[in-house]
Chain A
Amino acid sequence: MFAAVAIPVVVCSAWIGGSLGGKWSPEEKKVLESLSLASLGPLPADPSNRVADDPTAAAFGRRLFFDTRLSSNGKVACATCHMPQLAFVDSTPLAHGVGTTARRTMPIAGTAYSPWMFWDGRKDSQWSQALGPLESGVEHGGNRAQYARIIATHYLKEYQSSFGKLPDLSDRDNVTRVFANMGKAIAAFERTIMLDTTRFDRYVAAELAGRTHTAADSLSPDEEQGLRLFIGKANCVTCHNGARLTDDHFHNTGVPVSTLVASVDSGRSVGARQVTKDEFNCLSKYSDAKPDQCGELRFAVTEGPELLRAYKTPSLRGVAERAPYMHAGQLRSLREVLSHYDRAAPAPMGKSELKRLRLTSRELQQIEAYLRTLSAPPTVEGERLP
C-alpha cells in the first residue's frame, strides 16, 4: 500500500523538480558553478616572462608562431600542428613536423592557467614550452643559432621593441638569451588564445540565476543526465575539475601503449626529472621570476611510483572536436574514451588510478552528449576566429 502511494509521489516530484529548474541540489549547484567558465578568474601573472602581457611582444610572437622559416626545411611553424582552424591542434594521433613525434598535439587555449606544459609536464611555462619543439629534431628541426640569425635578419625592429638591443650573436649565451626571448614573445601571443563560453556555461548561468532556459542555454534531458553522471556516479569531476575541467595534474589512467610509437613512454616519471633540470625553467637564469615565485617547480613531486605513465589531465573544453584522444592519440573517439574509463583496464606500466564504473551503454552515451556541450572555438586576442 505504501509503495503504491510512494511511487507516484516520487515520479511527480521529480517531474515538478525538472520542469521548474529545481533539479540540482545546493551542493550540485556549487559543483556546476565551479565548472563554469565564469569561475575561471583573471589570467594569472607569469613572473617568469616579463613581456607576458605586453601587446607589442604578443604581436611579435604571433608572427613567429606562423613563420615556417623557423624550421630546418622551411615548412614547419608552430601553426603547422597548432592549427587555428582546428582549435590549435591537428587531427592525427601523433604530431608531424619535419618528422613524427611520439605524442599527440595539445591544445593551447587557456594553458596560461596551467603550471605544467606537455603531456608529461616537462616544461613549466608557456615560453619554455614554445622552445622545446623549435629544437626538437622531429618538430621544427632547427637550432637556436639559426633562429637568432632569423631574428637579426627579419625581426630586428620587433625584437628590439620588446627586448631592447639585439646582443652580439657571436656569444653563445647571447644566442640562447635571444632564443629564450623568442619563446617569451610566442608565449605573450599564446596567452591571448583563450577559452570561450559554451552552451554548458550558459546553462549553468541560467540554472544559478533560476531563469527559464532558452534554446541557447538549455541542455537536452540526455545532456543533463550526462552532466549528472559526470559530477556523480562516473567520477569524471574528480580529475576534470574547475573551470577548465582539469586538475592540472598527472594521472595513470591505464591508457594502452601506442602501436605507432616504438620507444617506451614513462610519462611524468621522465617529465618531472626533465623539468627540474630544464635550461629554461622558472628557476633558470633565463627566467624573470624570483625563486619564491617558482612554487610549482620548487615543490613538485619528482619521484615515486605514482608518476610512472602518468599524464596531464587535459581540459575537456572543446574535447568533442579534438579526436583522436590520449597522449598518443590511442583512442579514436569519445565513445572509445568513455568505454576505456568504464572498463578501467590495468595499466601497461605502473598502476591505473581508475576503478571500474559499470555504466550502461545509455549512460555512456549521455556523458558523451554532455561533453559535446563543452564546445566553442577558442578566441584570439579577445576575438572569435572567423
Chain B
Amino acid sequence: MKRTAILLLCSSLRRFAPSVGVPRFWIFAALTLSGCMMFMKPPSAPKAYEHTQVSAANTYLATFTPAESIKVGRLHKWNVRVTTADGTPVDSAKITIDGGMPQHGHGLPTKPLVTAHLGDGTHVVDGMKFNMGGWWVVKLTIDGAKGSDVVTFNLKL
C-alpha cells in the first residue's frame, strides 16, 4: 500500500518536472522525495533510449549525436538537432542541459553548454560527461519561438 502511494507520488513528480523547470525539479525531488529513488526504475521500452525524442508537449523533436562513442568518465561533445514537430529546423532557441541519475539522486557531473550553432537546427553541446555506469537522464529545455518544452533522453551506460 505504502509502496503504491510512493509510486503514484513519484510518477506525479515526473509529470510535474517540465512545468517547474528542470533545476528546481531536481532540488525539490532530492530534498523531499528521496524515498522515490529506490522505486524509480529505468524505462523498459527501447524507444525511451532512442537518440531522437519528442518534447513533453510535442513542441519539438530533438536528436543527439555524440561526437565519439560515449565512455564513462570522458568529457565529450554532442551535436543536437532540434526541429519543430512539423520538421522545421530550430536555430534560434535557447537550449539548456540538465539531468542526472534518478536512482542515485544526483545530477550530471558537469554543466554542459551549447557552444556553437551549426545551422539547420544543429547545436553543439560541449561538456557532456557521465562519471559512472547505469541509467542516466539528460533533459534539454528548449526555449524557442514555439515556447519552452523539455526533451528527455535516457541512456544506459
Contacts and interface: CB of A to CB of B under 8 A. Distances in A.
Contact of A247 (B31, B73, B127): B73
B73 A296 contact: no
Interface string B50-86: 0000000000000000000000110100000000000
Contacts of A298: 126-127
Contacts of B107: 301, 304, 306
A299 B104 contact: no
Interface stretch (B6-14, B41-49, B109-117, B142-150): B109-117
A306 B106 contact: yes
A355 interface: yes
B112 A305 contact: no
A296 B107 CA distance: 16
Interface string A244-280: 0001110000000000000000000000000000000
Interface in A192-240: 237-239
B46 to A, nearest CB: 18
Contacts of A12: none
Contact of B73 (A237, A248, A305, A351): A248
A302 B127 CA distance: 14
Given A242-B72, A305-B27, A353-B104, A299 B113 contact: yes
Contact of A295 (B38, B75, B132, B134): B75
A241 interface: yes
Contact-residue size bin, chain B (C-beta under 8 Å from the other chain): 20 to 34
A299 B132 CA distance: 17
Contact of B110 (A241, A242, A299, A306): A299
B75 A299 contact: yes
B131 interface: yes
A330 B113 CA distance: 38
A295 B73 CA distance: 13
A300 interface: yes
Contacts of B73: 241-242, 247-248
Given A295-B75, A351-B30, A238 B126 contact: no
Contact of A301 (B31, B109, B126): B109
A306 B111 CA distance: 13
Contacts of A301: 107-111
Nearest to A247: B131
B89 interface: no
Interface in A3-47: 34
A131 B108 CA distance: 30
B133 interface: yes
7 contacts: A299-B75, A299-B127, A300-B110, A301-B108, A305-B30, A353-B104, A355-B38
Interface of B: 27, 30-31, 34, 38, 72-73, 75, 104-113, 126-127, 129, 131-134
Counting from the closest, the 8 A-B pairs by CB-CB distance are A299-B127, A247-B131, A299-B110, A249-B131, A295-B75, A249-B109, A301-B111, A238-B132
